[in-house]
Amino acid sequence: MECSKLAIRMHRIHRETAPGEDENLSRDPAIQIANDLDAYWMPFTANRQFKNAPRLFVKAKGMHYFMADGREILDGTAGLWCVNAGHCRDEITAAVAAQAAELDYATAFQIGHPKAFELARRLAALAPGDLDHVFYVNSGSEAVETALKIAIAYHHVRGEPGRTRLIGRERGYHGVNFGGMSVGGIGNNRRQFGAGLAGVDHLPHTHDLEHNAFSRGQPQWGAHLADDLVRLIALHDASTIAAVIVEPMAGSTGVLVPPKGYLERLAEICHAHGILLIFDEVITGFGRLGAAFAAERFGVLPDLMTIAKGLTNAVIPMGAVLVREGVHDAFMKAPEATVELFHGYTYSGHPMACAAALATLDIYDNDGLFARAASLEAYWEDAVHRLDGAANVIDVRNIGIVAGIEFTSRDGKPGARAYDVFTKCLEIGALTRQAGEIIALSPPLIISEDEIDRLVAMVGEAIAATP
């Protein structure tokens, strides 16, 4: 059976027989499968389905992954929207190795280390407007929790402690912790976990195939959906609302591009009512939309911005919240010896993450990767829209170096068709990401035109082979 062969292979690659261990026993396939696959409870994965037909990456370089059976896979998703500069970049590897040997760890509480300050300055310079202050965390989910807490605490230090309500959006994804889950709007990510935070409401999402199917770039239709915030303000009163959080382009739910004028309108309403606007740029940051951040691309400045993923090219986990001057300064008015924010993590600003991030920012700079993404966008758009007429495809949408391809569902089996396209792509040689009945594409920004053609051709072939 395929599963046991792969398990044995993996076992041989990764696990020498320990001294004194019974060799015959360790070669028993049943034991090896249990050892190698069972113990690991995989995230966001159908564990039993996976373990019956495992897929294992063992190596990566540039635009490619390599599977346990030696096959080369074109990375159509930059890992999970995060390896923006391509895999195993020597400059980052070297920076991380040098940092591990020099200063492996430093507490972030009451003591600092130079690279944390250097990186904060670099990020402040890269971010638009006066998003000049940086709070470090270890993931996108922690960035979201932190941003929500800063927003509520901001109103507290300003003397409006009643502003605690948080507004998210249907189909939004803001990580998996309690705050992010609560403001998030993907049913599957919420329904097993109880009521979530109190005092949360949601805007409507912006996806409507009747009006915006097969859009190229920002859809013309849908700016008016931001006006729903006015309804929520009338309902709850602005004096109870701390913040609105949205992904400028919703990624995980399957690529929802903001309609023209939508984000502008949302920002206008927030600012008119003293509500902080948080952009969750965990996916859209670091060149994905052809600019450093989506805020820059769309010309809309949020009060807080969450980042992660591409910050370190995903080599070391790291996230951050970027904070505007006025929000930060509100905390700095208490006596000097005051701890302004009772919040932080053991690994906030970890030296190895800082080293990885600094090396990553150098690559983005030296290789001009954000501008490269912008200049590739038209080619990318034309390429992905070759799939417009493919079987069962009801939408293709794109922006930056991102695309979503949506399918009709089989009767009573939502998501099954896209899952089959995903597995077929992998068989053919391309990594894609399935979200419900959608396939999302978001390759590393180093992708060539030829590789774009190959990626789209493989997805097209997989769609054609999927009933």
Report 67-126 residues binding ligand PXG (CB under 6 A).
80-81
As measured in angstroms, the least distance from the Cβ of 95 to ligand PXG is: 21
Residue 247 to residues 47, 168, 174, 428, Cα–Cα distance (Å) = 29, 9, 8, 32
263 part of the interface to ligand PXG, by CB under 6 A: no
φ/ψ (deg, to 5) at 25: -65, -45
Whose tokens are 């919240």? That residue is 321
3-state secondary structure of 42: coil
Q: Which stretch binds ligand PXG (CB under 6 A): 67-75, 89-97, 276-284, 452-460?
A: 276-284
Whose tokens are 């992905």? That residue is 384
Among 139, 146, 212, 466, binds ligand PXG (CB under 6 A): 139
Six-digit token string for 444: 């590393």
Complex with ligand PXG: residue 133 or 174, whichever CB lies closer: 174
Complex with ligand PXG: residue 225 or 245, whichever CB lies closer: 245
The secondary structure element, H or E, covering residue 211 is helix 209-212
Is residue 325 within 8 A of residue 78, CB to CB? The reply is no
Query: Which residues lie closer than 8 Å to 315 by C-beta, 6 or more apart?
Result: 92, 93, 96, 356, 360
As measured in angstroms, the least distance from the Cβ of 174 to ligand PXG is: 5
308 part of the interface to ligand PXG, by CB under 6 A: yes
282 part of the interface to ligand PXG, by CB under 6 A: yes
Alpha carbon 411 to chain centroid distance?
A: 30
173 part of the interface to ligand PXG, by CB under 6 A: yes
φ/ψ (deg, to 5) at 327: -70, -50
As measured in angstroms, the least distance from the Cβ of 315 to ligand PXG is: 14
Among 76, 79, 86, 140, binds ligand PXG (CB under 6 A): 140
CA distance 153 to 331: 9
3-state secondary structure of 434: strand
Q: Which of 438, 441, 451 is nearest to 76 (CA)?
A: 441
Among 99, 141, 164, 313, binds ligand PXG (CB under 6 A): 141
Among 11, 133, 174, 424, binds ligand PXG (CB under 6 A): 174
435 part of the interface to ligand PXG, by CB under 6 A: yes
Complex with ligand PXG: residue 144 or 151, whichever CB lies closer: 144
Chain residues that interact with ligand PXG, rule: CB under 6 A: 80-81, 139-141, 144, 173-175, 247, 251-252, 280, 282-283, 308, 433, 435
